[in-house]
Amino acid sequence: MASTVTTEPSKDSPASSRPGYGQLLRTPGAWTFLLPGFAARQPFAMLTLSIVLLVQHTTGSYGAAGAVAAATGVSMAVFAPCTGRLADRCGQRAVLIPGVLAHTLSGLTLTALALAQAPLWALFAAAVPMGASVPQIGPMVRARWGVKLQDSPLMTTAAAFESVTDELTFVVGPLLATALCTTVDPAAGLVAEAALTLIGGLLFAARKSTQPRVTAAGHARVAHASALRVPGVRVLIMTFLGIGAVFGGMQVSLAAFSESIGEPGLNGVLYGVFAAGNMLSGLVCGAIAWKAAPQRRLLVAYGALALTASGLWAAHSVPVLAGLGLLVGMCIAPALITGYTLVEGLVPAGARTEAFTWLTGAVALGQAAAVTAAGQFEDRFWDGAGFLVPMGGTALALVALLALRSRLVPPRATKVVARGAAHREPVAIGEMRR
C-alpha cells in the first residue's frame, strides 16, 4: 500500500470547522471581487424586464416585446459558453473589458431604436449583440471562489451564497426596472442597465489578483477539452432550461397580470416576492450541513418546483399569486445551488468557468423561449395563460432529469477512499493496491 501523508487543517483553514457564511466571508481577498461582482451582475436582473416594458410601450404588443427580449436571451445562451471558454483560456479581464463596452453600446442603440419606433427587425438586430455581450459575472465569481477554496467544504456554502446573491439581484433588479420604466420613462430601465453594466463590469475586471491564473499548461488543456463533453453537464443544461422557463414565464405573465388589473407598478412587487422566496431558501440551503447526496437533493427540489409551478395558471388574485410565487421561488434556489455544486465534482478545474456559463446560458435560453411563448399566450388566449409556460417547462425538464440522473454521479465517486478533511487528491482503491 502506498503511503499517504494527511495534512491537518489549521484553525484558520476553511476545512477546520462547520461551513458557514461568516467563515466563507472571512476568506482572504473575497470582498475584493464580491462587491464589484454584485454591482456588475445587477443589470442582468434588469435586462429582460426593461426590454419587455420598453418595447411593449412603443409597440403595444407583449408578443413583440417578448420576441425582442427572447432574441437577447437566445444570443446570450449561444455566446455565453464561448465567453466562458475564452475566459478559461485568456483570462477574465481580457474578455470582460471589450464585452462590457459592446454591451453598453448595443443597449443604448436598442433603446434609441425602440423610442424611434423602428421596425421590429431593427430591434432584433440590436438585441442580438446586446445578448451576445452580456458579461458572465456570476460564472466568473464562482470560478474565483473555486480558486480561493479549491476542495474545501465551504464550496457548497459558496454555491449557496452565490445563488442568494443572484436572487438578491432579482429582488432589486425587477423593482428598480419597474420603478424606472413606470415613473421616470419607459426607456429609463434599459439606460440604467447599460450604465450599471459599464461601471460594475470595469470595476470587476480591475480586480486582476483574484481571477483564475492562466498558465501555458492550463491553456493547452482548455484548448482541447470542453465542459460540454461531460454527460452530467448536458443533463444539468436540460435541468436549467426548465428553471429558465420559470423565470421567463413569470416575468411576462406577472407584467401582463398587473396590467390587466390596472396596477402596472405591482409587477415589480410580485416578482420581488417570487425572487425573495428564492433568496430566503438559498440562505437556508447554505446554512445546512447536508447528508443527502446532491443528486438526490436535486431530484427532490426539482420535483417540488414542478409541482408548485403547475398551480400558477389557476391563480386569479394578488394574494394567491404572491403566495404561489413565493413557494415557486423557494423551490428554485435548492435546485440551482445543487446544480452548481455538482459541477465541482463533474468538471475539471480548467473548464469550470465554461461549465458555469453553459448553465447560465441554459437559464437564459429557457427564459428566452418562455418569454416568447408566454407573450404569445397572453396576446392570443386568456389573461394568465402565460403561466402555463413554467408548468410545461419544469415538467419536461423533470422527466429528463429522472431518466438521466445516473449521469450526475461524478467519475470514481463509488471507488474513492477519503483520506482526511483537507486531502485534495482522493486515492482510488485500485491505486492503494499497487
pLDDT of residue 338: 83
CB 164 within 8 A of CB 111: no
Domain boundaries, the chain: 30-212+231-406
C-alpha distances in Å from residue 275, one per residue of 127, 173, 243, 281: 25, 10, 13, 10
Which of 252, 234, 269 is CA-nearest to residue 390?
A: 252
Alpha helix (H) ranges present in 133-230? 137-149, 154-179, 188-205, 216-224
Q: Find where cell 442582468 sits.
A: 44
**CA 302 to chain CA mean position, Å:** 16
Residue 72's H or E segment, with its range, is helix 62-90
What proportion of the chain, given as a percentage, has pLDDT over 90?
7
What's the whole-number mean pLDDT along residues 340-345? 76
What's the whole-number mean pLDDT along residues 49-57? 88
Q: Find where cell 403547475 sits.
A: 310
Residue 296's H or E segment, with its range, is helix 294-309
**CA 348 to chain CA mean position, Å:** 20
| Cell numbers placing 34 | 464580491
Q: Looking at the predicted structure, is the pLDDT value of residue 282 above 60?
A: yes
Q: Looking at the predicted structure, is the pLDDT value of residue 166 above 50?
A: yes
Integer Cα distance of 14 and 34 in angstroms: 18
Number of other CB atoms surrounding residue 415 within 10 Å: 12
Integer Cα distance of 62 and 206 in angstroms: 39
| Cell numbers placing 253 | 405573465
First to last CA, the chain: 6
Q: Looking at the predicted structure, is the pLDDT value of residue 10 above 50?
A: no
Judged on CB neighbours under 10 Å (0-12, 13-18, 19+), 101 is: middle
Integer Cα distance of 241 and 365 in angstroms: 7
pTM higher than 0.75: no
Residue 416's H or E segment, with its range, is strand 416-417
C-alpha distances in Å from residue 122, one per residue of 2, 39, 197, 258: 66, 30, 23, 29
- Model confidence at 108, pLDDT cuts 50, 70, 90, reads very high
Please tell me the CATH code under which domain 30-212+231-406 is placed. Answer: 1.20.1250.20
What's the whole-number mean pLDDT along residues 420-424? 38
Q: pLDDT digits over 369-387, tens only?
A: 887 788 777 777 777 778 8
What's the whole-number mean pLDDT along residues 233-243? 87
